[in-house]
């Protein structure tokens, strides 16, 4: 593939695969000619209803299809929404080299070791103002910015069509905790030279003013530490190294020993101390098993769980499930983080449980215990003023954020025609004098379970949603190889709320089984020359599942997951005399579909022919040879036969029991 505009003038193509119209899983592709370069590859948290899903990643079909063109990856910083997807992607395609800051690369190395993919790429650390060449067409300069994590960079990408500035996550913090200032001079240098296009972080585009500096939370945290009667428990993002550094500084100031809970908190602090981003003595830390022996006023617990993650340390404590830590009425619990969109309910529920246990919980914007790492409108204006881009594309945010950011750009003099609001999979095509959307590529999501190995596909997710909302019905029936129901069906309900009792459900199941045997048996079994017929048991099960599902939806307005298991029995097994005929059928009048020399009634489970009466199900295998029926009813016609509407949802693909 070559980068071109309608096959004419060569162009730069920029393709976001994640991070647009959403928060998280930031992943972007730059390509020119035969060179393809990735910028970041993050993950996102699952939303409500994604049962059993641990991680959400962008669909990387486009990268897998073009993996031979991948020349390398650039990482802007070490947050999970920018590096969390890399280990999984390396299982699907190789990346020749990954460039990034020291802290991010150290964190990534640990993740790759856990995933056993360290042999799939080469990691190269970079420093501020380093320039790396990726492929034949990209030169990337790393420009120091300020964010909520140490070692964060914006990018100046020199391409054959001009310079593109990619801000990554940023704000302008003039009093950084680590003393590393935003390299405004270098950003202004590119603005003077001429920036073709600016791709800029939009997370706080709706908020006026500048984002407060990280140091602004220090006096407020200090006050709560000083007023605490007993233990202080703080939860925040483990990767917010500046925040963690201040919390440890306050622990030393107030004479408190620190216990760490949560694997990510332990790992990030270890990496940050190793690289010198956090400086504190070893004696400050106490193993969690020993910290209970300390006086409460000398104890600080620093842990994960600020987003209400079910398995995080604070969430388990709030449910009384943690083996080492239980809430006390004298505890002061501080949420030094804001909920990510989609996590608010989980966070609020965690806070409620902690309060009901008697703890003092400090949370919310009014307490001044958290500031964002993303710039607000004045930060965006300053970035636009420094870079003076010809074209502008807002990124990293939900749709309303992108719209607000585009308005800010217009207020700073960027013409509306030079601004694109795009979605994941859209292709931005850039030439020195033009920006427009090209043909989009496939974009979507991949869902990973807790192991981060198994992919949860749409079918599995829908079944989990059904289980959670409507429960499950299992149906076991015995059918002989000559098409006879040999025993009453056994019906079990789990999590199903219904006015129908088990007997009624069993009768309904009998009717569906009878209908399948009378009207589908000859299509699902094949005469094998005098031997026992070859039966498509999976097809039999599926037909029964779909029919019972349809009946329950009509009769009871419920749609549980239905799992039918058929136990095959030998031919000649005596027929079970069903109860269905003894029970009145309350269904509406049956609908009839006529076919050549016979008619089929779905709800009445009756088959008639002009010269013969209806044949009972238990006699069907003997009375109607399969070959005759197949000859009578061509395959194309059978698909249209009795009431198999296109909107019927196929459930799971069952396997025959035994």
The yes-or-no answer to whether 215-364 and 471-569 have a common fold is no
Is residue 226 predicted with pLDDT exceeding 90? yes
**pLDDT, position 478:** 87
**Per-position DSSP letters for 368-435, written without gaps between them:** T----SS--HHHHHHHHHHH--SEEEEESB-HHHHHHHHHHHHHTT--GGGB----TT-EEEEETTEE
Region of poorest pLDDT, from 61-75, 275-289, 500-514, 636-650 = 636-650
Is residue 3 predicted with pLDDT exceeding 60? no
Residue 482, CA atoms < 13 Å, CB-side half-sphere: 18
Yes or no: say if 591 and 600 are a contact pair by the CB < 8 Å rule: no
Write the pLDDT tens digit of every residue in 244-268: 999 999 999 999 999 999 999 999 9
584 confidence band (pLDDT: 50, 70, 90): low
Take residue 521 and report the two structure tokens written for it.
Answer: 């048996």
Determine what percent of the chain falls in helix, strand and coil, rounding each to the nearest 5.
35, 25, 40
Distance CA 221, CA 236 (A): 12
Is residue 648 predicted with pLDDT exceeding 80? no
Yes or no: say if 162 and 196 are a contact pair by the CB < 8 Å rule: yes
Helix locations, 471-526, DSSP H: 502-519, 521-524
Report the DSSP pairing between strands 27-32 and 35-41.
Answer: antiparallel
406 confidence band (pLDDT: 50, 70, 90): very high
Yes or no: say if 314 and 303 are a contact pair by the CB < 8 Å rule: yes
138 forms beta bridges with: 134
What's the whole-number mean pLDDT along residues 189-195?
Answer: 97
Domain ranges in the chain?
Answer: 12-209+373-449, 215-364, 471-569
Q: Look up the CATH superfamily of 215-364.
A: Metallo-hydrolase/oxidoreductase (3.40.50.10710)
Distance CA 485, CA 510 (A): 9
Q: How many helices (H) and strands (E) does the chain have?
A: 20, 29
Write the pLDDT tens digit of every residue in 521-541: 777 776 555 555 678 888 888
What's the whole-number mean pLDDT along residues 449-466?
Answer: 64
CATH tag, 471-569: 3.10.20.580
In the chain, what is the straight-line distance between the N-terminal and C-terminal CA atoms, in Å? Answer: 52
Helix locations, 557-601, DSSP H: none
pTM of the model: 0.74
**pLDDT, position 607:** 39
Distance CA 236, CA 224 (A): 15
- For residue 377, give the nearest of 206, 199, 184 by alpha carbon: 206
Take residue 391 and report the two structure tokens written for it.
Answer: 């074209």
Helix locations, 35-171, DSSP H: 61-65, 80-83, 86-90, 102-115
Q: Is 18 helix (H, G, I), strand (E, B) or coil?
A: strand
- For residue 460, give the nearest of 44, 46, 51 by alpha carbon: 51
> Degrees (nearest 5) of the Cα angle 46, 344, 44?
25
Q: Percent of the chain beyond pLDDT 90?
A: 59
Residues 431-440: contacts with CB under 8 Å, at least 24 apart:
431/5, 431/9, 431/10, 431/11, 431/12, 431/161, 432/161, 432/162, 432/196, 434/5, 435/197, 435/391, 435/393, 436/5, 438/5, 438/13
**Angle in degrees, 0-180, between the axes of helices 263-275 and 102-115, rounded to the nearest 10:** 140
**pLDDT, position 585:** 54
491 forms beta bridges with: 475
Report the DSSP pairing between strands 97-101 and 122-126.
Answer: parallel
Is residue 35 predicted with pLDDT exceeding 80? yes
**pLDDT, position 456:** 60
**pLDDT, position 301:** 97
**Per-position DSSP letters for 90-129, written without gaps between them:** HTTS--SEEEEEHHHHHHHHHHHHHHT-GGG-EEEEE-TT
What's the whole-number mean pLDDT along residues 34-48?
Answer: 88
Q: Which residue has the higher pLDDT, 497 or 531?
A: 497
287 confidence band (pLDDT: 50, 70, 90): very high
In this structure, whether the domain defined by 12-209+373-449 belongs to CATH 3.60.15.10 is answered with: yes
Neighbouring residues of 537: CB distance < 8 A, sequence distance ≥ 6: 566, 568, 656
Q: Tell the residue number behind the tokens 């080469």, with chain if given.
A: 122
Region of poorest pLDDT, from 187-201, 267-281, 487-501 = 487-501
**pLDDT, position 580:** 55
Q: Which residue has the higher pLDDT, 404 or 3?
A: 404
Take residue 200 and report the two structure tokens written for it.
Answer: 């800029």
Sheet architecture: strand order including 598-601: 592-595, 598-601, 606-608
Q: Which residue has the higher pLDDT, 625 or 2?
A: 2
Q: Which residue has the higher pLDDT, 625 or 440?
A: 440
What's the whole-number mean pLDDT along residues 400-415?
Answer: 98
Is residue 637 predicted with pLDDT exceeding 80? no
Take residue 407 and report the two structure tokens written for it.
Answer: 């308005």
332 confidence band (pLDDT: 50, 70, 90): very high
Summary mean pLDDT of the chain: 84
**pLDDT, position 457:** 60
**pLDDT, position 48:** 61
Is residue 167 predicted with pLDDT exceeding 80? yes
Write the pLDDT tens digit of every residue in 370-399: 999 999 999 999 999 999 999 999 999 999
Q: Percent of the chain beyond pLDDT 70?
A: 80
- For residue 75, give the nearest of 183, 169, 146, 180 by alpha carbon: 169
């Amino acid at each position: 593939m070559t980068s071109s505009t309608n096959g004419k003038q060569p162009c730069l193509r920029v393709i976001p695969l994640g991070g647009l119209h959403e928060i998280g899983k930031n992943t972007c592709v730059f390509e020119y000619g035969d060179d393809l370069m990735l910028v970041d590859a993050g993950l996102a948290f699952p939303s409500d209803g994604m049962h059993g899903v641990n991680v959400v990643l962008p669909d990387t079909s486009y990268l897998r299809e073009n993996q031979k063109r991948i020349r390398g990856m650039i990482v802007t910083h070490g947050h999970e929404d920018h590096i969390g997807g890399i280990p999984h992607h390396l299982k699907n395609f190789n990346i020749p080299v990954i460039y990034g800051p020291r802290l991010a690369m150290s964190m990534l190395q640990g993740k790759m070791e856990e995933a056993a993919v360290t042999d799939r790429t080469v990691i190269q650390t970079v420093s501020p103002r380093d320039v790396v060449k990726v492929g034949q067409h990209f030169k990337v300069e790393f420009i120091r910015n300020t964010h909520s994590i140490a070692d964060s960079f914006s990018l100046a990408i020199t391409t054959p069509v001009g310079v593109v500035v990619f801000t990554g996550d940023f704000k302008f913090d003039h009093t950084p905790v680590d003393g590393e200032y935003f390299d405004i001079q270098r950003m202004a240098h590119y603005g003077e030279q001429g920036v073709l296009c600016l791709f800029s972080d939009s997370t706080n585009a709706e908020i006026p003013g500048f984002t407060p500096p990280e140091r602004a939370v220090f006096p407020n945290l200090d006050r709560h530490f000083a007023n605490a009667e007993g233990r202080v428990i703080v939860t925040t993002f483990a990767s917010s190294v500046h925040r963690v550094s201040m919390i440890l500084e306050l622990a030393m100031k107030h004479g408190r020993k620190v216990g760490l809970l949560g694997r990510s908190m332990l790992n990030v602090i270890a990496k940050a101390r190793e690289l010198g981003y956090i400086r504190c003595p070893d004696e400050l830390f106490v193993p969690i098993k020993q910290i209970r022996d300390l006086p409460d006023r000398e104890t600080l617990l620093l842990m994960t769980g600020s987003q209400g993650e079910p398995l995080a340390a604070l969430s388990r404590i709030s449910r009384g499930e943690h083996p080492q830590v239980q809430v006390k009425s004298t505890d002061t619990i501080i949420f030094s983080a804001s909920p990510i969109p989609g996590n608010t309910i989980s966070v609020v529920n965690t806070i409620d449980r902690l309060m009901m246990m008697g703890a003092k919980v400090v949370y919310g914007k009014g307490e001044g215990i958290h500031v964002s790492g993303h710039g607000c409108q004045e930060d965006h204006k300053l970035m636009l003023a420094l870079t003076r881009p010809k074209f502008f594309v807002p990124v990293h945010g939900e749709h309303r954020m992108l719209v607000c950011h585009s308005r800010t750009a217009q207020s700073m003099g960027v013409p509306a025609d030079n601004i694109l609001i795009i979605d994941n999979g859209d292709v931005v095509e850039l030439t020195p004098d033009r920006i427009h959307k090209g043909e989009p590529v496939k974009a979507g999501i991949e869902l990973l379970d807790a192991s981060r190995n198994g992919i949860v596909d749409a079918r599995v997710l829908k079944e989990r949603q059904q289980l959670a909302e409507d429960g499950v019905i299992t149906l076991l029936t015995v059918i002989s190889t000559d098409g006879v129901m040999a025993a009453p069906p056994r019906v079990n309900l789990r999590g199903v709320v219904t006015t129908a009792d088990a007997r009624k459900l069993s009768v309904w199941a009998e009717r569906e089984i009878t209908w399948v045997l009378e009207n589908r048996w000859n299509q699902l079994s094949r005469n094998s020359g005098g031997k026992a017929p070859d039966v498509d048991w999976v097809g039999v099960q599926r037909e029964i599942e779909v029919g019972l599902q349809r009946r329950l939806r009509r009769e009871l307005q419920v749609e549980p997951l239905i799992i039918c298991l058929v136990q095959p029995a030998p031919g000649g097994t005596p027929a079970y005399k069903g109860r269905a005929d003894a029970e009145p059928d309350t269904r509406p009048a049956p609908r009839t579909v006529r076919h050549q020399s016979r008619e089929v009634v779905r709800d009445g489970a009756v088959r008639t022919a002009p010269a013969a009466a209806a044949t009972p199900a238990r006699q069907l295998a003997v009375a109607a040879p399969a070959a005759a029926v197949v000859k009578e009813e061509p395959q194309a016609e059978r698909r249209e036969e009795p009431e198999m509407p296109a909107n019927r949802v196929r459930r799971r693909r069952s396997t025959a029991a035994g």
